[in-house]
């Protein structure tokens, strides 16, 4: 098969009846995926890094904003989402490899977020805090999400808006609590006594990366977003800026309320931070909100993963079952595959502690996103869709940031991410030989020029 960009890569990938996400739903997809599980467990994961933490957040927020800017510029000019952007710039195979790597990110991300949700619920129901209880809660939440997404896009969109509004509550509460303490002269807890080093900052930044992945779901769901060329760029830029600053403030607030050694062992640090002040009921409520937040984030990941599997299946890179839609416009095979793989990842996860499991799975998930981030940013430069000189500079920063995060994630997580990404090569080879798409059907007979 030729790797020249297919004509359909430059066209909306679905017909109008599938469109269903309005501007608020699109914004909720970005913010709701960003405010998922990552921020609620991030104080525990970052606690040992001490004063390196604020520098790490500033690097991650800045790098993520640059990537979001590149995706926003591409979304304004090229319909179809990241698959279309990378195919237009680099051809089908590089685009497929990056997208398959990103699919690994989504599957690992669903597993990590489900773990975070189960950890929050174990705060409410201590009997479920065992490894078996955590697995049952995690797997059950993934199955429930699959059922909701099989109903239709609008259902997933409504769930996302409601969950996004709810999940902001505990972040705001802990920030207000710290502000009140400062106003009354109460001393703040010191950060862990860790020296500030370049390795420490990059290591912490690679962990914060997972909290800031997911904003690209807005672009991925372009085929089912109304007026995508306007709504998606707005959601990308404003969603990342708002969420990044909220993350920085909320993480530092938790670490200023509780001793770092306590935070490092907590399964629900926000609940632990608020409980001493407002009582155990408040802690339970926060834990429930965290669980709802994680559930909402996984809702967006499930929808985004299904859409991207559907997109590459239409190019002949997956078995044709993934390209088929149910009468309600839902790619059922893609949703079922995401569910099975995510639950499998949950089943094989093992580590000495809950936080270690979460940290490793989240790093593997983040690794899968980095290649997509780097190639989309490079596509903006190659296709001259950066919006000018400043935009080109931001795209270069985005590429450098993505490469730096590969090193920061460590060899173990990176090697797992690469190995999982390589599994996509034989899948594509087999799919193209067993189920070839005729040139007239896939548009390869007449390659199109990049969109103006």
Question: What does the DSSP assignment read for 230-247?
Answer: HHHHHHHHHHHHHHHHHH
- Do residues 102 and 96 lie in contact, with contact meaning Cβ atoms separated by under 8 Å? no
CB count in 10 Å sphere of residue 195: 8
pLDDT score of 222: 67
User: 309, 341 in Cβ contact below 8 A?
Assistant: no
**11-26 tens-digit pLDDT:** 333 434 444 566 777 7
Residue 446 has pLDDT above 80, yes or no: no
| DSSP letter, residue 322 | G
Single out the residue of 249, 293, 290, 243 nearest to residue 266, CA to CA: 290
Q: How far apart are CA 415 and CA 90, in angstroms?
A: 24
The pLDDT, as a whole number, for residue 153 is 64
Separation between Cα atoms, residue 373 and residue 354, nearest integer Å: 29
| pLDDT for 181 | 72
In whole angstroms, how far apart are CA 424 and each of 73, 80, 96? 28, 21, 8
Of 148-152, 240-244, 269-273, 278-282, give the lowest mean pLDDT range.
278-282
* Both tokens assigned to 203: 């290591």
- In residues, how long is the chain? 452
Contact status, residue 110 vs residue 142, Cβ threshold 8 Å: yes
**CA 417 – CA 176 distance, rounded (Å):** 38
- Asked if 379 contacts 74 with a C-beta cutoff of 8 angstroms, the reply is yes
Residues 6+ apart with CB under 8 A from 344: none
Helix and strand element counts for the chain (H, E)? 19, 0
Reported as a single tens digit per residue, the pLDDT across 353-375 is: 555 666 666 667 677 778 888 99
Of 38, 35, 264, the residue nearest 172 (C-alpha): 35
Question: How deeply is 23 buried, as exposed, middle or buried, from its count of CB atoms within 10 A (0-12, 13-18, 19+)?
Answer: middle
Contact 246, 171 (CB under 8 A): yes
List phi, psi (to 5°) of 193: -80, 70
Comparing CA positions, the residue from 146, 98, 110, 148 lying closest to residue 312 is: 98
Residue 373: name the closest of 351, 419, 404, 352 by CA: 404
Helices (H), 352-438: 354-382, 389-408, 411-422, 424-434
Spatial contact of 380 and 74, defined as CB atoms under 8 Å apart: yes
Taking only the tens place, the pLDDT of each residue in 74-115 is 888 787 778 888 989 998 888 888 888 888 878 877 887 888
| Residue 323 main-chain phi, psi, to 5 deg | -90, -10
State mean pLDDT over 242-270: 85
Lowest mean per-residue pLDDT among 107-111, 289-293, 322-326, 447-451: 447-451
What residue spans of 187-279 are helical by DSSP H? Answer: 198-212, 217-220, 228-257, 260-264, 269-278
Rounded distance between C-alpha atoms, residue 124 and residue 121, angstroms: 5
**Residue holding tokens 């104080």?**
43
Where along the chain do its domains lie?
26-439
Alpha-carbon Rg for the chain in angstroms: 21
- Distance separating alpha carbons of residues 441 and 438, to the nearest angstrom: 5
Question: Has domain 26-439 been given CATH number 1.20.1740.10?
Answer: yes
Residue showing tokens 């903006």: 380
Is 31:246 a contact under the CB 8 Å cutoff? Answer: no
Q: What is the pLDDT of residues 237-252, one digit of tens each?
A: 888 888 888 888 888 8
Query: At residue 452, does pLDDT exceed 50?
Result: no
pTM: 0.71
Q: Which residues of 148-163 are buried (b: 16+ CB within 10 A; e: fewer)?
A: bbbebbebbbebbbeb
Average pLDDT of span 318-347: 87
Work out the burial of residue 392: count CB atoms within 10 Å of its CB; fewer than 13 is exposed, 13-18 middle, 19 or more buried.
Answer: middle
- CA-nearest of 111, 59, 94 to 351 is 111
How much is the average pLDDT of 164-191?
77
């Amino acid at each position: 098969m030729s790797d020249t960009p297919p004509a359909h890569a430059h066209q909306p990938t679905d017909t109008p009846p599938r469109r269903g996400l309005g501007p608020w739903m699109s914004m909720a997809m970005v913010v709701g995926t960003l405010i998922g599980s990552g921020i609620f467990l991030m104080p525990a994961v970052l606690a040992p890094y001490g004063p390196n933490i604020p520098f790490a957040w500033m690097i991650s927020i800045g790098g993520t904003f640059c990537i979001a800017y590149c995706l926003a510029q591409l979304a304004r000019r090229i319909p179809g989402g990241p698959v279309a952007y990378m195919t237009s710039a680099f051809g089908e195979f590089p685009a497929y490899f990056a997208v398959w790597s990103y699919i690994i990110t989504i599957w690992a991300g669903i597993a990590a977020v489900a773990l975070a949700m189960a950890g929050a619920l174990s705060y409410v129901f201590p009997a479920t805090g065992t490894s078996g209880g955590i697995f049952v809660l995690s797997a059950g939440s993934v199955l429930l999400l699959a059922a909701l997404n099989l109903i239709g896009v609008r259902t997933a969109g409504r769930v996302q808006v409601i969950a996004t509004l709810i999940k902001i509550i505990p972040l705001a509460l802990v920030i207000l609590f710290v502000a009140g303490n400062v106003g009354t002269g109460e001393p703040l807890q010191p950060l862990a006594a860790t020296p500030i080093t370049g390795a420490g900052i990059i290591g912490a930044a690679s962990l914060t990366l997972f909290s800031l992945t997911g904003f690209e779901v807005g672009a991925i769901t372009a085929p089912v977003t109304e007026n995508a060329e306007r709504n998606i760029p707005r959601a990308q830029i404003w969603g990342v800026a708002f969420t990044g600053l909220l993350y920085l403030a909320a993480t530092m607030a938790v670490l200023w309320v509780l001793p770092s050694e306590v935070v490092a062992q907590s399964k629900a640090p926000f609940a632990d931070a608020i409980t001493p002040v407002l009582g155990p009921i408040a802690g339970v409520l926060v834990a429930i909100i965290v669980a709802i937040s994680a559930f909402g984030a996984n809702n967006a990941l499930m929808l985004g993963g299904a859409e991207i599997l559907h997109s590459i299946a239409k190019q002949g890179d997956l078995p044709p079952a993934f390209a088929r839609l149910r009468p309600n416009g839902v790619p059922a095979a893609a949703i079922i595959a995401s569910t099975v793989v995510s639950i499998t990842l949950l089943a094989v996860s093992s580590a000495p502690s809950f936080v270690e499991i979460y940290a490793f799975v989240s790093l593997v998930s983040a690794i899968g996103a980095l290649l997509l981030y780097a190639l989309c940013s490079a596509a903006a430069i190659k296709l001259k869709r950066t919006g000018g000189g400043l935009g080109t500079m931001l795209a270069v920063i985005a590429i450098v940031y993505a490469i730096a995060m590969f090193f920061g994630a460590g060899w173990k997580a990176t090697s797992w991410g690469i190995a999982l990404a390589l599994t996509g090569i034989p899948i594509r080879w087999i799919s193209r030989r067993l189920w070839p798409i005729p040139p007239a059907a896939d548009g390869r007979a007449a390659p199109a020029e990049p969109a103006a």
